Chain A
Amino acid sequence: DGGITQSPKYLFRKEGQNVTLSCEQNLNHDAMYWYRQDPGQGLRLIYYSQIVNDFQKGDIAEGYSVSREKKESFPLTVTSAQKNPTAFYLCASSTTPPGVGYTFGSGTRLTVV
């Protein structure tokens, strides 16, 4: 069953700690994306990668980091430098060039406590 999986579904982090969100896809998509979803803000692009070992900053990359060592995986690290990390994070993937748009994961809700 092809799809995109995000884990964990809920994540709690203490202030000052880094935390890594997982995103895995078995759709054989070249491109992967991370968005942050906040109420009233829509989806804002954090990072994206169109090929293995390459990625680009999106609109709100500060305080985040990513890696793309494998085609299937695009983990996002929320660092202690991110001032307001509590949010819902969505991962997506697509073909390159994107054909029918994105396939989205079910999201990870990160809460800083």
Chain B
Amino acid sequence: AQRVTQPEKLLSVFKGAPVELKCNYSYSGSPELFWYVQYSRQRLQLLLRHISRESIKGFTADLNKGETSFHLKKPFAQEEDSAMYYCALRGSQGNLIFGKGTKLSVKP
């Protein structure tokens, strides 16, 4: 089965604290994973892809095939990071399979 699991519905941290949004996947084969973000009143947009190994807005995510995880991390959270975050897996048909999302709230 192809599946993405985001175990936390809501994650609340204080400004300046580290943040880790968890994502686990189920996929037979070589996975391609993404993180999407949806800020309030904005459209869903790509944050980063595992194949590009980039850091966007201070966020990084490393694919761990042994643990089938693709957790999103940032060492120092900012208030403007407050948003809905979705982990996604490219399915065998090419379509993206999304997790249920985690709402990140960064408190001042």
Contact = CB atoms under 8 A, between A and B. Distances in A.
Residue among A92, A104, A105 with the most chain B CB within 10 A? A104
A43 interface: yes
Interface residues of B, number: 21
Interface residues of A, number: 26
A2 interface: no
Contacts of B29: none
A31 interface: yes
A101 B94 contact: no
B94 A42 contact: no
A100 B95 contact: no
Interface of B: 6, 9, 34, 36, 43-46, 49, 86, 88, 90, 93-101
Interface of A: 31, 33, 35, 40-45, 48, 50, 56, 58, 90, 92, 94, 96-98, 100-102, 104-107
